[in-house]
Amino acid sequence: MKISCFLLLMVFCLYFSQIHPVAGYDTIECLDKKAMCQVRKCPWFFAEIGTCFEGRGKCCQNTHG
């Protein structure tokens, strides 16, 4: 019983210790361009310039200012 509780605790610790599990190269590249990642459509006055979250999202950059 103690061993199974310890193993379960270790699994939870490993699961929650991941900082950002879906941040891939495209997400880092988008944030380096001072843009933002959106899961849905880009907001008004933002243009889609790439992808985020390994192709699951859109990289949106402000077109004004």
pLDDT interval class at 17 (50, 70, 90): very low
Look-up of token digits 């006055």? 45
Helix (H, G, I), strand (E, B) or coil at 49: strand
CA distances from 26 to 3, 9, 15, 33, 65 (A): 40, 33, 23, 11, 24
State how far the Cα of 38 lies from the Cα of 26, in Å rounded to an integer: 13
Tokens of 25: 């190269």
Domain map (residue ranges) of the chain: 20-65
Can you name the residues that pair with 57 across neighbouring β-strands?
A: 52
Q: pLDDT tens digit string along 25-65?
A: 999 999 999 999 999 999 999 999 999 999 999 999 999 86
pTM (2 decimals)?
0.61
Q: Thinking of the domain 20-65, which architecture would CATH place it in?
A: Roll (3.10)
Contact 63, 42 (CB under 8 A): no
